[in-house]
Amino acid sequence: MPESFVALNIAVLTVSNTRSEADDKSGALLTTRLKDAGHLLHEKAICADDLYEIRARVARWIANERPDVVITTGGTGLTGDDVTPEAITPLLDRTIDGFGEMFRVLSHADIGSSTLQSRSLAGVAKATFVFCLPGSSGACADGWDKLIAEQIDARTAPCNLHELLPRLPGSRFAQ
């Protein structure tokens, strides 16, 4: 396991019909956190709560540009506009079921049983880890601080997602 930090390329997608760069607190929070951790921002974008627009944006990143990680924020609830899980799930080669489970456990401490309304999820698609977080900045802080940051850090023991990258076909870390 590496003893030093290894920066990853991370793309951030805010899913919202109402947010702009001026008021995108969750996207800004994730961008700041990833940069403060030493990672590189591949791209940050905002798109509407549209299943096909979300899927097209993330699919383009996965297929062509290949950031190591994609994080989405928004669209994971239960209303008619919340389609991020439906947009992302068909793109995934494997799901990381423990992410959604752990996110809801951690979130329960802050928001109680309301966490059952979250459909947060994660998976891997063509050597890119994809994390889908709710749209609130508190949820993004929890998701980054308590789960994602540690798991994409090569120094996290006893194991981490970063150490899997060399074994994923198409990864820039593939041996």
pLDDT averaged over every residue in the chain: 94
Structure tokens at 124: 């891997």
**What mean pLDDT is predicted for residues 164-171?**
91
Give the fold, CATH level 3, of 9-167: Molybdenum Cofactor Biosythetic Enzyme; Chain A (3.40.980)
In the three-class reduction of DSSP (H, G, I as helix; E, B as strand; rest coil), residue 120 is classed as coil
Q: Where are the domains of the chain?
A: 9-167
The count of other CB atoms within 10 Å of the CB of residue 1 is: 11
Q: CB of 121 within 8 A of CB of 95?
A: yes
Task: Please list the residues that pair with 94 across neighbouring strands.
Answer: 124
| pLDDT score recorded for residue 1 | 55
**What mean pLDDT is predicted for residues 22-43?**
97
3-state helix, strand, coil in the chain (%, to 5): 45, 20, 35
| pLDDT score recorded for residue 2 | 62
- pTM (two decimals): 0.96
Task: Please list the residues that pair with 122 across neighbouring strands.
Answer: 131
The count of other CB atoms within 10 Å of the CB of residue 23 is: 10
**What mean pLDDT is predicted for residues 60-82?**
92
Question: What b/e sequence results for 144-175 when a residue is b if at least 16 CB atoms lie within 10 Å of its CB, and e otherwise?
Answer: beebbbebbbbeeeeebbbbebeebeebebee
Q: Residue 22: pLDDT above 80?
A: yes
How many Å apart are CA 13 and CA 76, to the nearest integer?
Answer: 13
**What mean pLDDT is predicted for residues 24-30?**
97
Q: pLDDT above 90 covers what percent of the chain? A: 83
| pLDDT score recorded for residue 170 | 86
